[in-house]
């Protein structure tokens, strides 16, 4: 006697939608009322279901990468606040400052060859071109970088390559 599968074609769209929201296979299985093993078995025999998991997960990952990048660079938000003068609601723009932890995470993962921690103990100074960043308040910052001129987030006016960095001191 064969087993009756409770698989339904509409699971493909449900899996894709839940995957886009960041749910993992075990969580999706729970929502659908099945075990993770059942979903994995179905994914092996139904390529469209496996694709729904993968495509949804890729979208969720891209969303998180975008949010991490925004957090690392800073961004503007528009907010509604109660005016102390008029008592009414007004819209304001507020700058969300870059988060150092997001910057460190991004650099260590995207530029690990230049920004990794040195497991042997000493500091590792990146080599290559230096970037000089002139801020709106005329402060000049130098940092190791790729060297190409680029526009940065508000607050950074100019970015230019200045000289080669070396570990010679």
- At 10-61, the pLDDT tens digits run 999 999 999 999 999 999 999 999 999 999 999 999 999 999 999 999 999 9
Q: Which residues make Cβ contacts (< 8 Å) with residue 42, sequence separation at least 6?
A: 5, 7, 11, 49
Element (H, E) at 14: helix 11-20
- Whether the per-residue pLDDT at 163 is higher than 60: the answer is no
Ranges of each domain in the chain: 11-72, 125-169
- The pair of three-digit structure tokens given for residue 54, joined into one six-digit string: 């993968």
Distance separating the N- and C-terminal Cα atoms of the chain: 78
Distance CA 142, CA 160 (A): 9
What tokens were used for 46? 């139904």
pLDDT at 169: 44
pLDDT in tens, 106-149: 898 888 888 877 655 555 555 555 555 555 555 555 554 444 44
Among 68-72, 95-99, 161-165, whose mean pLDDT is lowest? 161-165
Q: Which residues of 93-109 are buried (b: 16+ CB within 10 A; e: fewer)?
A: eeeeebbeebbeebbee
Q: Strand pairing of 140-144 and 156-165?
A: unpaired
Evaluate if pTM is beyond 0.75: no
In angstroms, rounded to a whole number, what is the distance separating the alpha carbons of residues 97 and 80? Answer: 19
């Amino acid at each position: 006697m064969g087993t009756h599968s409770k698989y339904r074609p509409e699971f493909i769209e449900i899996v894709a939608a839940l995957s886009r929201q960041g749910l993992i296979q075990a969580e999706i299985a729970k929502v659908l009322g099945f075990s993770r093993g059942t979903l994995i078995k179905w994914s092996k025999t139904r390529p469209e279901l496996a694709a729904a998991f993968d495509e949804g997960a890729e979208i969720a990952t891209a969303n998180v990468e975008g949010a991490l990048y925004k957090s690392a660079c800073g961004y503007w938000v528009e907010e509604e606040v109660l005016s102390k003068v008029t008592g009414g609601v007004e819209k304001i723009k507020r700058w969300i400052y870059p988060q150092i932890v997001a910057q460190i995470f991004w650099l260590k993962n995207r530029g690990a060859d230049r920004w990794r921690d040195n497991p042997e103990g000493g500091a590792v100074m990146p080599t290559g071109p230096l970037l000089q960043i002139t801020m709106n308040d005329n402060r000049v910052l130098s940092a190791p970088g790729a060297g190409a001129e680029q526009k940065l987030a508000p607050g950074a006016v100019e970015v230019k390559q200045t000289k080669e960095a070396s570990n010679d001191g």
